[in-house]
A and B are shown apart, each in its own frame.
Chain A
Amino acid sequence: MNSTWSRFNITSIVLGFAFLYLPIVLLIVFSFNESKLVTVWGGFSTKWYVSLFHNQGLMDATWVTARVGVISATVATVLGTLAAITLTRYTRFKGRVLFSGMVFAPLVMPEVITGLSLLLLFVAVGLDRGFVTVTLAHITFTMCFVAVVVQSRLVTFDRSLEEAAMDLGAPPVKTFFQITLPVILPAIISGWMLAFTLSLDDLVIASFTSGPGATTLPMKIYSQVRLGVTPEINAACTILIAVVAIGVIIASIANKRREIQRQLDEQAAQRG
């Protein structure tokens, strides 16, 4: 295989990754810029981070975003996992086509449509726009992403494990919690993280469904970006990137450990 990895392949990968990462790297570098201009280097400084923490509006928005993210990701993970089980396990029930349509369509649905339609729903049922409506909206569009992630793990799941447990007398619900859940847990965790980042990231749906007092961080960043590019926004973005990057790295390390442990267990089981 190594011999077929040509110079062309390596070049295209290097150029591709440079394209993907250079803008982010530049953004981080210029958050440490002394000068107020985002494009001219005026020396190293962390003053924008200091001023960031004194920006009360930004801090409030961060807190709202974090709460919306945690709550919506958690509910979306439960609903998305149930949806994934439904899609993989129950192949025949009334309205299955509609159901799978409703799970897959939000993945590609333009955000302006999702946002507008949810807002009109909330107005129709008389729900005041604010924290609750943003959270409900985020649950709805992120649960479909969770469903896809969990489903891809469930299709490769070895059903004979469950059958063995049930042959040995375990009731279905207990089988699910003792056998199925531990096996698909990594997928559920990455589903939660995906839901959390999507919620953290969302500008359009939040703008439609949010109300006074529930301004999220992307909404705040967006309104400041429209006024002009400042190092302070770069600093806010850098912190956000750092939080997500640390989370992803921890998760992948934990995943790798579990994988190694599983392989060791399997080897031990085969020997014994």
Chain B
Amino acid sequence: MTNIAAAASSSTETAAAPPMTLAKGFVDRLVIIIPYLWLLFFFLVPFIIVFKISLSQTAISMPPYTPVLDFKDGVAGFFAGFRELNFDNYTWLTQDALYFNAYVTSLIIAGISTILTLIVGYPIAYGMARAPATIRPTLLMLVILPFWTSFLIRVYAWIGILKPEGLLNQVLLATGLISQPLVILNTYTAIFIGIVYSYLPFMVLPLYSSLEKMDYSLIEAAQDLGCPPTGAFWKITFPLSLPGVVAGCLLVFIPAVGEFVIPDLLGGSQTLMIGKTLWNEFFSNRDWPVSSAVAVILLLVLTIPIMFFQQAQAKAQEQGR
């Protein structure tokens, strides 16, 4: 390691070598091609298959669908298949109010939970960013640590707390704040609590990283000039933390729309969310084409937020360079 450090200090005087931006040479090509092919085959191709199966017919067999576009009969057969493509599964989705409601409910639940997570997460991130520099790494570690413990376990832990005879009701009854146990488990409230709790680190981390970079003398300057603290917050702190707000909200919102574990365990059978609907179509009804159609539409709904997310990622990457 000593040698590296010495080499570093000496090389700063030499002229920089030309940047290695163009892919040349066998090794370079291999570095790109291996992960590229893997992702093409295991990430992109599966989506094409989902799309294909969403257009095929349900059948009672294994696999439970009749393929439509197939090369079995050669290229001519493939094109003949186009005439047999059926959009029944999609018509079915639009006719049955259940699916439409599930999509809308999921978007609303994810939206409200994202705002709640932002409200809960912002003071934590702000407090961390203003903490003495010596304890900041510890605080950061404490935020990340729950993320390492199982998602399923963290959701499960809330069942024992929110149950009618659960810990929260016991505490509230004992202190005399309520006389009847509150019904929280198996309601939308429980889903909100579950999402805010599970996704809080995803919100706090990007917020913290943009708040930490902020120049706090700006606020002092504003206050010197007579700006009240809340005014300074909305005029300076919040706009400067906006990249963190956007990244955090997208990191919470997108996966929350398709969430399955939280609505299933905390929301009970009454609540309707699209991730649960897809799961039930697949595992209970064994209707692969319909669940594929549900997935395709969910993906379409999420395309815009996902593109926003990728743009934000690319921007952050450029700034880090």
A residues within 8 Å of B by Cβ?
A: 1-2, 4-6, 8-10, 12-13, 16-17, 19-21, 23-24, 26-27, 30, 38-39, 79-80, 82-83, 85-93, 95, 99-113, 116-118, 120-121, 123-124, 136-137, 139-140, 143, 147, 151-152, 155-156, 158, 160-161, 163-168, 172-173, 179, 182-183, 197, 200-201, 203-204, 207-208, 218, 221-222, 225, 229, 233, 237, 240-241, 244-245, 248, 252, 261-262, 265-266, 268-270, 272
Contacts and interface: CB of A to CB of B under 8 A. Distances in A.
Give the 5 A-B CB pairs with smallest separation, nearest first.
A110-B258, A117-B46, A12-B123, A269-B5, A16-B124
B222 to A, nearest CB: 14
Given A5-B131, A152-B320, A90 B28 contact: yes
A222 B152 contact: yes
Interface of B: 1-2, 4-12, 14, 16-17, 20-23, 25, 27-28, 31-32, 34-36, 38-40, 42-47, 49-50, 53, 63, 120-121, 123-124, 126-128, 130-133, 139, 141-143, 145-146, 148-154, 156-161, 163, 165-167, 170, 197, 200-201, 204, 216, 250-251, 254-255, 257-261, 265, 275, 278-279, 282-283, 288, 291-292, 295, 298-299, 302, 305-306, 309-310, 313-314, 317, 320-321
Contact of A172 (B27, B50, B126, B133): B27
B21 A108 contact: no
B260 A4 contact: no
A26 B282 contact: no
Given A113-B299, A161-B4, A245-B145, A91 B21 contact: yes
B7 A165 contact: yes
A227 to B, nearest CB: 12
Contacts of A79: 34-35, 38
Contacts of B310: 100-101, 104-105
Given A5-B130, A117-B50, A200-B150, A82 B259 contact: no
Contacts of B167: 26, 39
B16 A163 contact: yes
Contact of B156 (A104, A165, A221): A221
A163 B201 CA distance: 38
A24 B35 contact: no
B8 A158 contact: yes
A135 to B, nearest CB: 12
B7 A110 contact: no
A259 B285 CA distance: 55
Most buried by A among B45, B149, B167, B320: B149
23 contacts: A2-B132, A13-B128, A23-B154, A23-B161, A38-B160, A39-B167, A39-B170, A82-B32, A89-B20, A109-B254, A112-B279, A112-B295, A113-B298, A116-B292, A116-B295, A121-B46, A143-B38, A155-B320, A160-B8, A164-B14, A179-B4, A208-B282, A225-B265
A86 B38 contact: no
B148 A244 contact: yes
Nearest to B258: A110
Contact of A266 (B5, B20, B149, B159): B5
Contacts of A17: 124, 142
B49 A229 contact: no
Given A9-B126, A20-B143, 5 more contacts: A79-B38, A90-B22, A118-B46, A160-B8, A221-B153
B54 to A, nearest CB: 10
Contacts of A4: 130, 216
Contact of A240 (B47, B150, B216, B317): B150
A13 B139 contact: yes
Most buried by A among B42, B139, B146: B42
A155 B139 contact: no
A107 B43 CA distance: 12
Given A113-B295, A121-B46, A26 B157 contact: yes
A123 B146 contact: no
Contact of A110 (B2, B146, B257): B257
A1 B132 contact: yes
Given A23-B197, A99-B36, A86 B8 contact: no
Given A85-B31, A113-B298, A120 B46 contact: yes
Nearest to A269: B5
A231 to B, nearest CB: 10
B50 A104 contact: no
B9 A270 contact: yes
Contacts of A160: 8, 11-12, 16
Nearest to B305: A108
A163 B11 contact: yes
A23 B157 contact: yes
A124 B49 contact: yes
B127 A237 contact: no
B45 A121 contact: yes
Most buried by B among A30, A82, A95, A252: A82
Most buried by B among A5, A108, A124, A158: A108
Contact of B150 (A2, A20, A88, A218): A218
